[in-house]
């Protein structure tokens, strides 16, 4: 199998030639890495440069989100700024009741089972549903593609949270035994393994856990694997489903989640607003099927969007406090990776968690990279913060903007924080804004732990 694959594809760097062609067409400076570097290194650098220029086709989307599972309802809510956030009161024993704003999914995960009949965590069940939809949309046939060149790259901040919460509650509260499957259901790569089994993927099957950047990093690392020629196709994305008592209480105690206004709980999350008060915890799973441009062309697939740039780095400053410098470096690196300038980007889907510190740092970093001209919105106001799945969800938001030529607003943003006036950015608020000339979009994910991940998508034509 391995020999056959190598013979067909010409080895692991098979993507080099079409990649180089794309780089030339897009006018990237030749020999950028050349002069002071010794010849062998120059060759390696040139190969890396060529690989970096490659675009990766988006072949399919699938999602389980608070805004729905299909494009129609998803777009309707997204572009109308219609919030899926609701109030939930958490009562645990004799503790004070906790009022929280959450964005749940209408998704039945009761007694969900995997393809080998193992019980599935709610998040894994969502991941499977999302991936199945993405796969169906891609038009790929698991029976005909090279399984050894199909990868799974999946992110989750706290995979298995719902199962762990329920089983620990049973163990400590009711003296009930743990199930023999508990470890397998809650391990961080549970969804990765389930997806690999279900789709017969025999390439790399990797889980990424970097908090709120998890799925963005998963997608970006799969891009790199495809560009490098190690795989042709990947099922990518991420999930989190932790709207369960233990996890909710943990988030509540951090004071980063927004209290739901009694008269309008749906407006709890107000990114960039003067009166912002944090985010609403969401849940969901978002999957994309991505493939090398050459693979897509060879099978005659019509892919409207391409992933064109990715970068990740770490602030290395503080566990939770964001660093505008680190964010700016990540955005610039993603632009460089895509071979684009700041002026090429027509929309930024911000991380925009609506925390005081988070939004301030992000506005500063966006202004540093883009000045005041790029339209920016945070759609967490309507779909909540899906944590490990958030990067994938917000990439899909950016892709929908690209597909529709329409920028979704930051809902509930009436008065931007005056503190931003010194370094203003162009917030999309109120109604969705038409952007028929939109060609390149950028989505940022900035995580606890300091990980920043930035993805850039572009129209294919």
Partner 1 sequence: MNTPTFNTIAQILEQDFRLARGHIAPERTLVELGLDSLSLMEFVFAVEDAFRLRIPEDRLDPRAAGLTLAHLCDVIDGMTGTVLPATGAIARAAHA
Site residues for partner 1 per CB under 8 A: 111, 113, 116-118, 166, 170, 176-177, 179-181, 184
Task: Kindly list the distances between the CA atom of residue 338 and the CA atoms of 64, 89, 449, in Å, as whole numbers in the listed order.
Answer: 29, 45, 26
* Radius of gyration of the chain measured on its C-alpha atoms: 22
Element (H, E) at 208: strand 205-208
For the chain, the residue count is 461
What is the DSSP secondary-structure string of 13-27? TTTHHHHHHHHHHTT
Cα separation, 365 vs 344, whole angstroms = 17
Please tell me the distance from the alpha carbon of residue 358 to that of residue 211, in angstroms, as a whole number. 15
Spatial CA neighbour of 65 closest among 130, 11, 119 = 130
DSSP three-state, residue 310: strand
Q: In the bound complex, what is the minimum distance in angstroms from residue 118's beta carbon to partner 1?
A: 7
Catalytic annotation, residues: 212, 351, 385
CA–CA dist 436, 23 (Å, integer): 25
Nearer to partner 1, 20 or 161 (CB): 161
Task: Closer to partner 1 by CB, 161 or 457: give it.
Answer: 161
- Residue among 437, 377, 381 nearest 407 (CA): 377
What's the closest the beta carbon of residue 196 comes to partner 1, in angstroms? 17
| Choice between 94 and 177, CB closer to partner 1 | 177
Q: In this structure, are residues 138 and 289 in contact, taking their beta carbons and an 8 Å threshold?
A: yes
SS3 220: helix
Closest to partner 1 by CB, 184 vs 381, is 184
CA angle, residues 149, 232, 121, in degrees to nearest 5: 65
Please state the closest distance from residue 115 (CB atom) to partner 1, in A. Answer: 11
**How many CA atoms does the CB half-sphere of 59 hold within 13 Å?**
27
Q: How far is the CB of 181 from partner 1 (least distance, A)?
A: 6
Look up tokens 């409207």; give the residue: 304
Question: Exposure of 202 by Cβ count < 10 A (0-12 exposed, 13-18 middle, 19+ buried)?
Answer: middle
171 or 317, CB closer to partner 1? 171
**Residue whose CB is less far from partner 1, 89 or 117:** 117
Q: Are 33 and 42 in contact (CB under 8 A)?
A: yes
Supply the minimum distance, in Å, between the C-beta of residue 198 and partner 1.
Answer: 16
Beta bridge pairs of residue 281: 102, 385
Q: Would residue 226 be called left, alpha or beta, if left means φ above 0 and alpha means ψ between -120 and 50 degrees?
A: alpha
Nearer to partner 1, 73 or 119 (CB): 119
CB-nearer residue toward partner 1: 13 or 112: 112
State the nearest-atom distance from the C-beta of 165 to partner 1, in Å: 13
Separation between Cα atoms, residue 420 and residue 457, nearest integer Å: 27
CB of 120 to partner 1, least distance (A): 13
Minimum CB separation from partner 1 for residue 119, in Å? 8
């Amino acid at each position: 199998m391995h020999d056959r694959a190598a013979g067909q594809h010409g080895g692991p760097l098979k993507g080099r030639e079409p990649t180089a062609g794309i780089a030339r067409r897009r006018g990237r400076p030749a020999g950028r890495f050349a002069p002071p570097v010794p010849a062998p290194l120059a060759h390696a650098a040139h190969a890396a440069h060529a690989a970096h220029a490659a675009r990766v086709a988006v072949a399919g989307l699938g999602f389980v989100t608070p805004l729905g599972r299909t494009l129609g309802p998803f777009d309707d809510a997204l572009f109308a700024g219609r919030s899926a956030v609701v109030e939930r009161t958490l009562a645990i024993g004799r503790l004070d009741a906790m009022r929280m704003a959450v964005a749940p999914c209408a998704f039945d995960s009761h007694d969900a089972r995997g393809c080998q009949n193992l019980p599935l965590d709610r998040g894994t069940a969502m991941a499977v549903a999302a991936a199945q939809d993405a796969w169906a949309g891609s038009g790929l046939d698991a029976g005909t593609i090279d399984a050894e060149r199909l990868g799974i790259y999946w992110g989750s901040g706290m995979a298995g949270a719902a199962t762990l919460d329920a089983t620990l509650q049973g163990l400590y509260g009711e003296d009930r035994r743990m199930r023999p499957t508990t470890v397998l259901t809650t391990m961080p790569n549970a969804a990765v393994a389930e997806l690999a089994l279900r789709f017969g993927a025999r390439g790399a099957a990797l889980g990424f856990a970097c908090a709120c950047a998890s799925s963005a990093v998963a997608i970006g690392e799969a891009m790199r694997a495809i560009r490098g020629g190690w795989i042709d196709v990947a099922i990518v994305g991420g999930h989190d489903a932790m709207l369960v008592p233990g996890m909710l209480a943990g988030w509540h105690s951090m004071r980063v989640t927004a209290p739901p206004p009694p008269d309008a709980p749906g407006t709890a999350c107000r990114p960039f607003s003067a009166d912002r008060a944090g985010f609403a915890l969401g849940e969901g799973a978002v999957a994309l099927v991505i493939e090398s441009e050459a693979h897509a062309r060879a099978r005659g697939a019509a892919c409207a969007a391409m992933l064109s740039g990715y970068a990740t780095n770490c602030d290395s400053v503080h566990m939770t406090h964001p660093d505008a410098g680190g964010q700016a470096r990540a955005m610039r690196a993603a632009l460089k990776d895509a071979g684009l300038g700041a002026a090429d980007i027509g929309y930024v889907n911000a991380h925009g968690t609506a925390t005081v510190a988070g939004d301030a740092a992000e506005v500063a970093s966006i202004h540093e990279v883009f000045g005041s001209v790029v339209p920016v919105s945070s759609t967490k106001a309507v779909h909540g913060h899906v944590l490990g799945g958030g990067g994938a969800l917000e990439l899909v938001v950016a892709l929908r903007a690209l597909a529709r030529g329409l920028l979704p607003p930051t809902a509930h943003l009436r008065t931007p924080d005056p503190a931003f006036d010194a370094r203003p950015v162009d917030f999309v608020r109120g109604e969705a804004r038409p952007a028929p000339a939109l060609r390149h979009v950028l989505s940022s994910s900035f995580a606890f732990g300091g990980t920043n991940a930035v993805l850039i998508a572009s129209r294919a034509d």
